[in-house]
Each structure stands twice: as structure tokens, then as C-alpha cells.
């Protein structure tokens, strides 16, 4: 089977301005959304208590809400269905420091009149840990981005490094915008999903860049835009296929993986779409916008090659004893 | 002679390794989110530890002054300084020497006539803090070990936090008991009743009591107040054993034994204070205050009153494993019931199998035999991930399961890249051998760079992530490394093996394209 039989280059770069503008609008819109709407931090980052309760049969949401709001310690808590109508979660912003305090026991007492239920999960994060986790999350992002920038710059050239990082910022921004819009709760697993998406989207970008690097060496008489068009076209099949397989797998995770990892898989689903788009339409034109010159690159590579040859020649002479 | 197909050999070795690990019955440990259990991050109130260190310095001072028959008065503790007055000028030099000998660098001494003031040094405070945390880790570990649960984890995290993980808790009552056991200070003190002023205790304010060097504490059962000397006669640090026993009324009690020094202090004190009362105080509650009838030399005592069998059992464990120098407080707590864990395993397994079947079907449909070869590599990759985790005792968490599912999607990536390259070269009219060789070598740099960058993200996540997210980073990393072995080396080896059989006229069968 073959989806992409076409081998003559598609003129992606002639349309690059349009995609650039589209992306710019999306990124700025995402920032505005995040700035206005904010992110819906879950208890991992904001601190607080989460109680997951499963009822035998349908959970009496209204009754639970009135019981919870009538109680002293859970007053002001949010109560929502979780996954199915049998399960609910109760979220409060408060947490207790005392080791002996039993939140689930208190919840049990408060809810005792609402039917037969089982308390399946109690998560409690103190405010100090919340801010610490947020800090660590940012550090992880930063560390990953710097590491990637350094590695790609080392393996390719600084413009490739910068372009791939800008593409990453693009992906993360838009994904965060969508998360903010969809009011997805931001917990540690979302952070994990965002970092995975960094790695994933970068994967795609690197594959394309690798082809461009190869093209720069082989297609000496072509202009940069043509080299990029050729490279993107040649990798189009792979980019789409891998994105599809990954997308399907994550989709199955989203549909069947259970409520707890729904946010995680949703983030990845969004990220795969945005990441694939950016690898094809944004990362490569960025090379042009960053003023990568095919001739300069080739000249530098040629020089490098020459230096290596020179070194080899010297070594050969040295070994022969003629130096 | 035929060249050795080293790639296939390595691939086979990897498969044998994975199978032998898994067949020997080793499995990765399931995380708390999958098997249920209690996860807590505790903070230590180190300021309390410093205060109680000041107290124990005071006890020490009283002990060595008494021991040398130096008369003193007004022994008092204020924050982190201990003050007292010696009554005889002739004892001054010896007192100084005793302080130096017993306390060394722990305190800085200020003298004003016969008044001494001992101030805890900053270094001593730092040591005390450090000590309190390390001791809390050891103590909590001891207690949980003695409680008899399977493999609890207690570890210091960062500079001032303690991670406690207890898997396999079945009921909420058990969880409550475990948390009570962890939190129990188990601070045992034997304190003298201030008989001269005790009659006025009901009207006395804590400030007034403090001005006499006394403290007001209450009986655990009757809530009756007692006025006690603030500096204890001795404390639980001199305890060697604590066991559950029964008192004369057949109520559960805790029988404790003191070490040599404790027994001596206890003996001397009881010898000198006949007819007076001595309170047995556990965690600032008085359990009994018997009148001393005679000198008690054997260093044994009994805590009675207000205990059920279970409580006595837990208190004895707490006393045996030592007091917490400082109270702990919860900074993070996650408890997952066993039924939720089972649900999570079921759901993520289903997602894994579903995603796996979808990818395998797609690869065969799209690439024919080449897809089949990639699938073999994918299966070995999965086995390797699980085997490596099992071998190193790594923990499999729910995000970790998601990581494995994701690896399934991404691991075929390398084979997609390689297959696309081979197809391309075949279309250019290259021979089969050449197309495969060049396909692999051309694809290598892309796969390598892509994997390394993903690995960088995974490492960042592992270093800065906590708990279950670390599990995700771990499975991702192992998956990436394993895929380099299976998807690149493994499939290449398989192609090499089949090379003589691959026919240019059957490209449709081998690579899914028209010849």
C-alpha cells in the first residue's frame, strides 16, 4: 500500500507566508487566552484536596453537593461527575497538615446519608509542595529546551537549533491555549504530556531537518527553498504515517485508558496534530526566515571536510614517517 | 564462508534475555496508583527538635551537676539558652570543666558571677535539624517495618522532606492506624511533680508555672492537671525495650526497660524522693503519677491506663523504635484504594492491547512483509521494556503504562523511516542489497538524532519529575533505548537473513510496492 506516490516536490515554501501568519495568529491568540482565562491548575500545582467516590449505581450529585456545602470542612468544594455517572470527585482548595487527620473518614461521615459508596482515592497536596512542583515543572521544561537547543545546534547548525526550539514554543503555546480553552485540569501528568509532545514534535522536525541537511550536501545546484520543498515532500509520507500510528494509539488511550489519564491523552492528541503541522509548515520556513544560506552552509561543510582530509593526510604522512 | 549475521545474533540475545527474565517470574513492581496504597510526603518541624534539644541539654546539666554534688538553683530554659546558678563559688572551675567535657561545642557559655548561661551554637542547631530529619526517617522506617506490612518505602527526599510509601493497604482503618503510628511522637518522659506548689495548680497560668521552671500537663483519662518540673528526670532516649503487658487489673499496659544510665538516674531519683510523686508522661499526657515508695533500681517501669490492645501494641512499637525528635506534618498525601488501582490496570491494558493491534495491523497492511518484520521488532521491544524494568526492580505506574502505550506508537517510527528510504531507493532502481544497506545507513542519522532529543526531554522529566511521572519518563527512556536495538539492529539482521530469498519481482510482497 502507498499513500504518497508523488515524487516531484510540492511547493510548500511558496505558501510559507500564509502558514506563518496563521501560526502567528494562533500563538498570539493562545497567549491571550492563557493570559485572560488562565490555566486550570489542579491540586498538584495549586494545592488542595481531591476525593474520588464511587457509588453503587448513579451518584446523587445534587444531594452530595448540598451535603458537602452544608458541612464545615468541605464548604465551597466543587463536586463533579468523574468518567461515569457512578463516580464523582470532590475538590477543595484546603489541605490538612496533621498526619493523623483522616479526610476520607470525614468525607464518609458527611456523605453517609447519600447511599452506598466507596472512597477510592484521596489526594492532598499542601500549598508549599504545589508551588514547588510548579517550579520543578518549569525547570524540567527549561532544561529540556536548553538541552535540545544545544544538541541540535551541535549536530546541525545554530539556525536549525533555534528553528526547532521556536517550533516547540509554537507547539506548546497553542496546546496550552487549547488546554486553557477546554478548561483541562493541569496536573503533573499534563506536564509529562507536554514534555512528551516536545520530544515528539521535535522528532518530526529533526527527521525533516535531517533530509534538508542531506539535501544541502547533495543538491548543490538547487536553491534553499527548492531543497526544503524536496526534503519535506520526501519525508511527508513518513511524517504522516508515524503521526497516524501515534495518533491512533493515543486515541485508544483517550477512549479506553480510563478517566484518570484522559487529560494526559487529550493533551497528546492536541499536541500530535499541532506538532505534525508545525514540522511540515513552520519549522522548515523558519530556516529561511532565520536567513540560512545554502551556499554558506555548503562552503562551511566543504571547509570542514577539507580540514578533516588535511588532518588525515598529515596523520598518514606522520605514520609513514615522512613528516 | 558465510559472514556472521551479528545483528541477528544480538537481536536474538536481547530476546533470550527478555524471555529468561520474564519466565523466571520477575515482574516490575506496580506503583501505588496501580496496586493501591498510601503515599505521603512529610515535612519535619525542626524548630521543635531544637527546643527539645535545649531541654535535653538542661537534663544533662542537671545530671552532671547532681552527680558531682554541685549545688545549683534556678535551672531554666528560655528558647535555645539554658541558665542556672551555682551556689558555691568553689565549684565554679569544676562546673566550667564539666560543661566543656559534657557539652563541648554544642553551647557557648556566658558567665555572670555565679550565673551561667549556655546558648546553643548555630552549628549545634544545624546538626540538631539534620539529626531530627535523619532520625525521623529511621524511626518511621522502623515503625513501619515492625508493623508488619509488605515493603514500605521510607526515604529522605531533598534536604528536609521524607517520602513514605506503603503499598497494599486494604482498608481505611488500617490506613488510619498507619498514619497514627507514623505521627506518634512517642516522647516518653519521667517528670517530678512539683509537690510544693502542686496544690495551687488549678489556679495557675502556664506563664506563672514557667516562671518557677514548671509546666502544667493533664492526665490522659481524667484530664486532671498536674504541676511538673519542666526539666524531666529522664526521657525515652534512655529506653532499651518496650513490650505490651497487662497490669494488675488485667488492662493492657506497656512495660519498658531503661538502659544503664537511665536505670541509675531513675534509681538515684527514686532513692532521694521517697514519698513524692513521679509522673509518667507520654506525648505530653500523664498516664500515671504514682507515689515513690522506695528506691527503684532495676530500671523498669510500666505505663498503664487508657489503652486498647491495638493502641498498646502501636505505642510499644513507637517507643521501641524511638521517639521522633520533631513532629512531622503532611505536605502531600495520596491514597488510592485497591479497586481503583485494579480499574486503572484494566483500562490501560485494554488501551495498550487495542493500540498495539491497530499499529500491527496497519504496518502489515501498509508495508507487507517489511511491516511484519517491524512488528517482530516491536514485540521484542515491549518484552525488553518490561524485562529491564523487572530486572532493576523499577516501578510501573499509570503514567508509565501510558509511556509504554506511547512507545508502541513511536517505536515503529524508526521502521517507517527505514522502510520509506528503502522504497525510495528501490524506485530509483537500486538493487535489493544496495537499497537495504543504503536505506539503513541513510535513515540512521535521522533516527539517532530524533531519539536523542526525545531522550533529552525524558531525562529532564525524570530529573525534575516526581512520583508517578518519574515512572513515565523511565518507561519512555527504556523504550527509546530498546527501540534502537530492536528497530534498527534487529530488523536489519532479519533482512540480512532473508536477503537471498528477496526477489525483485516480489516487491509487492516484501515492501508493499509495485515492482
Q: Determine contact, residues B76/B82, Cβ cutoff 8 Å.
A: yes
Instruction: Check whether B413 has a pLDDT greater than 50.
Output: yes
The percentage of residues in chain B with a pLDDT greater than 90, rounded to a whole number, is: 9
Q: Which residues pair with B165 in a beta bridge?
A: B39, B153
CATH fold for the domain made of B6-36+337-511:
Multidrug efflux transporter AcrB transmembrane fold (1.20.1640)
Q: Are A237 and B442 inside 8 Å of each other by CB?
A: no
User: How far is it, in rounded angstroms, from Cα A40 to Cα A184?
Assistant: 6
Predicted confidence at residue A34, as pLDDT, reads 93
B452 interaction partners in chain A (CB closer than 8 Å): 151
> Cell numbers of B214, please?
514548671
The percentage of residues in chain B with a pLDDT greater than 70, rounded to a whole number, is: 98
Instruction: Check whether B409 has a pLDDT greater than 50.
Output: yes
Q: Which of B41, B180, B463 sits opposite A100 (nearest CB)?
A: B180
**What is the band of B1 on the pLDDT scale with cuts at 50, 70, 90?**
very low
B402 interaction partners in chain A (CB closer than 8 Å): 189, 253, 257, 261, 264-265
Give me the helices (H) in B368-498, please: 369-391, 398-427, 432-464, 467-483, 491-498
| Tens-place pLDDT, residues A90-106 | 888 877 777 777 777 78
**What is the band of A24 on the pLDDT scale with cuts at 50, 70, 90?**
very high
User: How far is it, in rounded angstroms, from Cα B269 to Cα B292?
Assistant: 10
User: How far is it, in rounded angstroms, from Cα B10 to Cα A17?
Assistant: 49
Q: Of A274-278, B312-316, B473-477, give the lowest mean pLDDT range.
A: B312-316
Interface test with B, best of A103, A109, A188 (most B CBs within 10 A): A188
What's the sign of the alpha-carbon dihedral A55, A58, A59, A63?
negative
List the CATH code of the domain at B47-124: 3.30.70
CA distance, residue B486 to nearest chain A CA (Å): 17
| Tens-place pLDDT, residues B483-510 | 888 988 899 999 888 888 887 778 788 8
Q: Three-state SS for A39? A: coil
Q: Are A250 and B405 inside 8 Å of each other by CB?
A: yes
User: How far is it, in rounded angstroms, from Cα A74 to Cα A99?
Assistant: 18
Arithmetic mean of pLDDT, B417-444: 89
User: How far is it, in rounded angstroms, from Cα B296 to Cα B276?
Assistant: 13
User: How far is it, in rounded angstroms, from Cα A294 to Cα B190?
Assistant: 85
Arithmetic mean of pLDDT, B186-190: 83
Nearest C-alpha in A relative to B510: A1
Predicted confidence at residue A6, as pLDDT, reads 65
Q: Determine contact, residues B455/B477, Cβ cutoff 8 Å.
A: yes
Q: Are B332 and A203 inside 8 Å of each other by CB?
A: no
Q: Which segment, A69-78, B243-252, B368-377, is predicted with the most confidence on average?
A: B368-377
> Cell numbers of B323, please?
521517639
Residue B291 carries which DSSP code?
B
Interface test with B, best of A3, A6, A89, A97 (most B CBs within 10 A): A97
Q: Are A189 and B412 inside 8 Å of each other by CB?
A: no
CA distance, residue A322 to nearest chain B CA (Å): 36
Q: Determine contact, residues B137/B154, Cβ cutoff 8 Å.
A: yes
Q: Which segment, B1-5, B7-11, B322-326, B345-349, is predicted with the most confidence on average?
A: B7-11
Arithmetic mean of pLDDT, A144-151: 87
What is the ipTM score, two decimals? 0.81
Closest alpha carbon to B32 in B281, B254, B333, B245:
B333
Q: Which residues pair with A92 in a beta bridge?
A: A49
Is A97 buried (19+), middle (13-18) or exposed (0-12) by CB count in 10 A? middle
Edge-to-edge strand ranges of the sheet holding A78-82: A78-82, A84-92, A48-55, A117-125, B328-336, B37-44, B161-167, B153-157
The percentage of residues in chain A with a pLDDT greater than 90, rounded to a whole number, is: 15
State the CB neighbour count (10 A cutoff) for residue A253: 29
Give me the helices (H) in chain A, please: 16-37, 43-46, 61-70, 103-111, 127-155, 158-181, 188-218, 224-256, 262-281, 283-289, 294-320
Of B398 and B468, more confident: B398
Q: Are A118 and B337 inside 8 Å of each other by CB?
A: yes
List the CATH code of the domain at B187-320: 3.30.1360.200
Residues 6+ apart with CB under 8 A from B174: none
Predicted confidence at residue A267, as pLDDT, reads 93
Residue ranges per domain, chain B?
6-36+337-511, 47-124, 187-320
Predicted confidence at residue A66, as pLDDT, reads 84
Q: Which of A155, A189, A252 sits opposite B354 (nearest CB)?
A: A252
B442 interaction partners in chain A (CB closer than 8 Å): 214
| Structural domains of chain A, with CATH | 13-40+130-292 (1.20.1640.10), 48-125 (3.30.70.100)
Q: Which of A122, A214, A264 sits opposite B335 (nearest CB)?
A: A122
User: How far is it, in rounded angstroms, from Cα B10 to Cα A192?
Assistant: 33
Residues 6+ apart with CB under 8 A from A132: none
Predicted confidence at residue B150, as pLDDT, reads 66
Instruction: Check whether A181 has a pLDDT greater than 90.
Output: yes
Amino acid at each position: 500500500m502507498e499513500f504518497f506516490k508523488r515524487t516531484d516536490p510540492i511547493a510548500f515554501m511558496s505558501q510559507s507566508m500564509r502558514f506563518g501568519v496563521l501560526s502567528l495568529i494562533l500563538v498570539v491568540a493562545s497567549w491571550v487566552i492563557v493570559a485572560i482565562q488562565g490555566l486550570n491548575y489542579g491540586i498538584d500545582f495549586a494545592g488542595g484536596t481531591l476525593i474520588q467516590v464511587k457509588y453503587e449505581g448513579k451518584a446523587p450529585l445534587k444531594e452530595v453537593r448540598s451535603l458537602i456545602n452544608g458541612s464545615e470542612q468541605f464548604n465551597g468544594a466543587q463536586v463533579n461527575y468523574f468518567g461515569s455517572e457512578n463516580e464523582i470527585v470532590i475538590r477543595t482548595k484546603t489541605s490538612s497538615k496533621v498526619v493523623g487527620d483522616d479526610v476520607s473518614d470525614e468525607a464518609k461521615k458527611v456523605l453517609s446519608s447519600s447511599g452506598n459508596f466507596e472512597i477510592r482515592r484521596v489526594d492532598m497536596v499542601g500549598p508549599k509542595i504545589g508551588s514547588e512542583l510548579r517550579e520543578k515543572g518549569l525547570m524540567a521544561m527549561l532544561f529540556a529546551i536548553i538541552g535540545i537547543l544545544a544538541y541540535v545546534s551541535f549536530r546541525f547548525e545554530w539556525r536549525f537549533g533555534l528553528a526547532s526550539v521556536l517550533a516547540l514554543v509554537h507547539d506548546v503555546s497553542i496546546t496550552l491555549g487549547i488546554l486553557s480553552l477546554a478548561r483541562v485540569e493541569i496536573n503533573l501528568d499534563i506536564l509529562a504530556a507536554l514534555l512528551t509532545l516536545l520530544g515528539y514534535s521535535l522528532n518530526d522536525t529533526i527527521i525533516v531537518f535531517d533530509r534538508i541537511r542531506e539535501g544541502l550536501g547533495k543538491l548543490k545546484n538547487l536553491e534553499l527553498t527548492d531543497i526544503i520543498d524536496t526534503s519535506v515532500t520526501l519525508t511527508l509520507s513518513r511524517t504522516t504515517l508515524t503521526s497516524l500510528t501515534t495518533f491512533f494509539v493515543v486515541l485508544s488511550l483517550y477512549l479506553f485508558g480510563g478517566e484518570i489519564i484522559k487529560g494526559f491523552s487529550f493533551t497528546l492528541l492536541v499536541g500530535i496534530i499541532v506538532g505534525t503541522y508545525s514540522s511540515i509548515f513552520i519549522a522548515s520556513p523558519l530556516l529561511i526566515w532565520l536567513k540560512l544560506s545554502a551556499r554558506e552552509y555548503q562552503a562551511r561543510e566543504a571547509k570542514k571536510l577539507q580540514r578533516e582530509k588535511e588532518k588525515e593526510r598529515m596523520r598518514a604522512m606522520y605514520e609513514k614517517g615522512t613528516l | 564462508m558465510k559472514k556472521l549475521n551479528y545483528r541477528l545474533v544480538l537481536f536474538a540475545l536481547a530476546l533470550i534475555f527478555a524471555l529468561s527474565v520474564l519466565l523466571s517470574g520477575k515482574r516490575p513492581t506496580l506503583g501505588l496508583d496501580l496496586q493501591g496504597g498510601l503515599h505521603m510526603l512529610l515535612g519535619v518541624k525542626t524548630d521543635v527538635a531544637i527546643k527539645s534539644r535545649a531541654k535535653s541539654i538542661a537534663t544533662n546539666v542537671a545530671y552532671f551537676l547532681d552527680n558531682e554534688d554541685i549545688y545549683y538553683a534556678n535551672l531554666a530554659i528560655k528558647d535555645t539558652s539554658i541558665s542556672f546558678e551555682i551556689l558555691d563559688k568553689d565549684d565554679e572551675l569544676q562546673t566550667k570543666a564539666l560543661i566543656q567535657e559534657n557539652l563541648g561545642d554544642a553551647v557557648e557559655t556566658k558567665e555572670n558571677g555565679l550565673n551561667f548561661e549556655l546558648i546553643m551554637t548555630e552549628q549545634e542547631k544545624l546538626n540538631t535539624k539534620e539529626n531530627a530529619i535523619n532520625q525521623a526517617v529511621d524511626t518511621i522506617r522502623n515503625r513501619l517495618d515492625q508493623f508488619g506490612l509488605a515493603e514500605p518505602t521510607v526515604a529522605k527526599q531533598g534536604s528536609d522532606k521524607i517520602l513514605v510509601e506503603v503499598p497494599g493497604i486494604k482498608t481505611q482503618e488500617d490506613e488510619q492506624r498507619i498514619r497514627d503510628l507514623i505521627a506518634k511522637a512517642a516522647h516518653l518522659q519521667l517528670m517530678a511533680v512539683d509537690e510544693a506548689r502542686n496544690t495551687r495548680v488549678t489556679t495557675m497560668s502556664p506563664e506563672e508555672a514557667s516562671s518557677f521552671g514548671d509546666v502544667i500537663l493533664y492526665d490522659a483519662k481524667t484530664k486532671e492537671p498536674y504541676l511538673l518540673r519542666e526539666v524531666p528526670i529522664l526521657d525515652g532516649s534512655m529506653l532499651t525495650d518496650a513490650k505490651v503487658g497487662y497490669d494488675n487489673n488485667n488492662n493492657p499496659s506497656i512495660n519498658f526497660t531503661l538502659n544503664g544510665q537511665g536505670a541509675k538516674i531513675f534509681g538515684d531519683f527514686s532513692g532521694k524522693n521517697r514519698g513524692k510523686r513521679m509522673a509518667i508522661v507520654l506525648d505530653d499526657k500523664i498516664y500515671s503519677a504514682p507515689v515513690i515508695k522506695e528506691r527503684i533500681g532495676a530500671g523498669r517501669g510500666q505505663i498503664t491506663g487508657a489503652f486498647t490492645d491495638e493502641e498498646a501494641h502501636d505505642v510499644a512499637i513507637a517507643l521501641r523504635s524511638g521517639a521522633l525528635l520533631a513532629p512531622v506534618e503532611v505536605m502531600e498525601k495520596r491514597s488510592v484504594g485497591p479497586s481503583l488501582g485494579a480499574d486503572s490496570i484494566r483500562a490501560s491494558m485494554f488501551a495498550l492491547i487495542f493500540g498495539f493491534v491497530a499499529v500491527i495491523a496497519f504496518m502489515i497492511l501498509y508495508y507487507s512483509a517489511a511491516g511484519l518484520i517491524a512488528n517482530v521488532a516491536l514485540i521484542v521491544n515491549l518484552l525488553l521494556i518490561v524485562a529491564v524494568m523487572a530486572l532493576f526492580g523499577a516501578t510501573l505506574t499509570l503514567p508509565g503504562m501510558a509511556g509504554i502505550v506511547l512507545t508502541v506508537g513511536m517505536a515503529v517510527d524508526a521502521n517507517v523511516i527505514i522502510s520509506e528510504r528503502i522504497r525510495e531507493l528501490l524506485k530509483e532502481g537500486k538493487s535489493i542489497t544496495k537499497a537495504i544497506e543504503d536505506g539503513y545507513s541513510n535513515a540512521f542519522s535521522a533516527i539517532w538524532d530524533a531519539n536523542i532529543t526525545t531522550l533529552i526531554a525524558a531525562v529532564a522529566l525524570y530529573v525534575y519529575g516526581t512520583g508517578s511521572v518519574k515512572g513515565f519518563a523511565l518507561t519512555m527512556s527504556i523504550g527509546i533505548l530498546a527501540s534502537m536495538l530492536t528497530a534498527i539492529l534487529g530488523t536489519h539482521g532479519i533482512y540480512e537473513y532473508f536477503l537471498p530469498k528477496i526477489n525483485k519481482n516480489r516487491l509487492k510482497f516484501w515492501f508493499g510496492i509495485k515492482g
